[in-house]
């Protein structure tokens, strides 16, 4: 069987499985179960070695997952390198992690392929992209006691128009409705600084890091309201460098699709943690923001 290498292990996170397992356990132990069981989560992908704030923040999302319920984990990651206007599936059978390998659900892949709306990643594109890989060890850790009883469905999300976000949201809505499925939305929030070509600031908000937090929390408030149109307008207005804005858009559209149906389930989205890699004070500074959220069906 063909297996995707853990190509970012040793650079973005440790390739030592025991060390990685202990680190994930530590982060998860410091997070509380307050908004679960999660049907979907939003969590960052900056990388364990990049900043400890990343892993600690992501733990608050993964702590809401109920592994005894979950049978399938959809992972929606933004395409950082490949130029794509659609969504793409992996051509491989398994994804490697330092903990254990994760098996791709070929039945779900066949169902998605049958929609004729998905492309296929080549192996190079697959292994170059970190937005999906960064979540694999966390998924493996949370699902550890049930590691032979679940599959993954990795989906690489391109630069989608709002119409395409709605299209993919409609495709994924029935899967979101299934309590045995978990959707993992991979996204960092604001990338601020000249090296990111983004230096928006509202000086009335105080120091730069406070302006960044205000900006991010405007987006977080909209996401909590589960309003895809308002989120699109927010991105247009501020151009905030939320790298997973399209995966988030797809999730919001899937929620909207379910909400439009008769006997729509009640849902609640809540952000549980926010952090920045550093606090920008001077224009030459830079930072990446992290935010974790959980969606529950009430």
What domains, with CATH codes, occur in the chain? 3-297 (3.40.830.10)
Residue indicated by tokens 């390198």: 81
CA-CA distance, 122 to 132, in Å (whole number)? Answer: 15
Residue count of the chain: 298
**Continuous H helices in 34-154:** 52-62, 106-114, 123-128, 130-133, 136-142
Q: Smallest Cα–Cα separation from 160: which of 74, 226, 258, 231? A: 231
User: Can you give the pLDDT at residue 130?
Assistant: 74
Going by the DSSP 8-state scheme, the letter that residue 97 receives in this structure is -
What sign results for the dihedral spanned by CA atoms 245, 200, 233, 258? positive
Q: How far apart are CA 37 and CA 20, in angstroms?
A: 24
- The tokens for 139 are 């998924």
77: which strand partners? 156, 186
Distance CA 251, CA 42 (A): 10
The pLDDT value recorded for residue 12 is 57
Query: What is the pLDDT at residue 244?
Result: 94
- pLDDT of 9 reads 57
Q: Are strands 287-297 and 40-43 parallel, antiparallel or unpaired?
A: antiparallel
Report pLDDT for 251: 98
Using CA atoms, how far apart are residues 125 and 120, in angstroms rounded to an integer?
Answer: 10
Q: What is the pLDDT of residue 26?
A: 93
Query: If DSSP states are collapsed to H, E and C, what string results for 151-219?
Result: EEEEEEECCCCHHHHHHHHHHHHHHHHCCCEEEEEECCCCEEEHHHCECCCCHHHCCHHHHHHHHHHHH
> Which pTM does this prediction carry?
0.95
Q: Tell me what pLDDT residue 13 has.
A: 67
Enter the tokens of residue 93.
Answer: 């059978």
Mind listing the pLDDT tens digit of every residue in the chain (298 residues)? 797 776 665 565 677 888 889 999 999 999 999 999 999 999 997 766 555 677 889 999 999 999 999 999 999 999 887 788 999 999 999 999 999 999 999 999 999 999 999 999 988 888 877 789 889 999 999 999 999 999 999 999 999 999 999 999 999 999 999 999 999 999 999 999 999 999 999 999 999 999 999 999 999 999 999 999 999 999 999 999 999 999 999 999 999 999 999 888 999 999 999 999 999 999 999 999 999 999 999 8
Q: What tokens does 234 get?
A: 């927010």
Choose among 145, 136, 148, 142: nearest CA to 25.
Answer: 142
């Amino acid at each position: 069987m063909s297996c995707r290498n853990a190509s970012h292990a040793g650079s973005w996170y440790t390739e030592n499985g025991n060390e990685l397992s202990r680190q994930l356990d530590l982060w998860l132990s410091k997070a509380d179960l307050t908004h679960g069981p999660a049907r979907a989560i939003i969590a960052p992908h900056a990388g364990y070695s990049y900043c400890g704030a990343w892993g600690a923040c992501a733990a608050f999302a993964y702590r809401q997952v109920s592994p005894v319920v979950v049978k399938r984990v959809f992972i929606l990651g933004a395409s950082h390198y490949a130029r794509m206007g659609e969504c793409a599936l992996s051509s491989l059978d398994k994804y490697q992690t330092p903990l254990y390998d994760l098996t791709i659900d070929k039945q779900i892949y066949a169902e998605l392929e049958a929609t004729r709306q998905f492309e296929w990643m080549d192996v190079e594109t697959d292994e170059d992209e970190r937005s999906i890989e960064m979540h694999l060890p966390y998924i493996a850790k949370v699902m550890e006691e049930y590691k032979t009883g679940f599959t993954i469905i990795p989906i690489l999300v391109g630069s989608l128009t709002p119409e395409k976000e709605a299209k993919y949201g409609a495709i994924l809505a029935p899967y979101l409705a299934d309590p045995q499925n978990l959707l993992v939305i991979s996204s960092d929030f604001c990338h601020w600084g000249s090296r990111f070509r983004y230096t928006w600031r509202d000086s009335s908000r105080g120091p730069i890091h406070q302006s960044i937090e205000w900006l991010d929390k405007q987006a977080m408030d909209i996401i909590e309201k589960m309003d895809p149109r308002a989120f699109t307008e927010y991105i247009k207005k501020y151009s905030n460098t939320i790298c997973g804005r399209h995966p988030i858009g797809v999730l919001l559209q899937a929620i909207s699709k379910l909400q439009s149906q008769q006997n729509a389930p009640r849902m609640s989205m809540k952000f549980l943690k926010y952090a920045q890699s550093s606090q920008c004070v001077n224009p030459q500074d830079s930072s990446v923001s992290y935010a974790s959220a959980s969606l529950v069906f009430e």
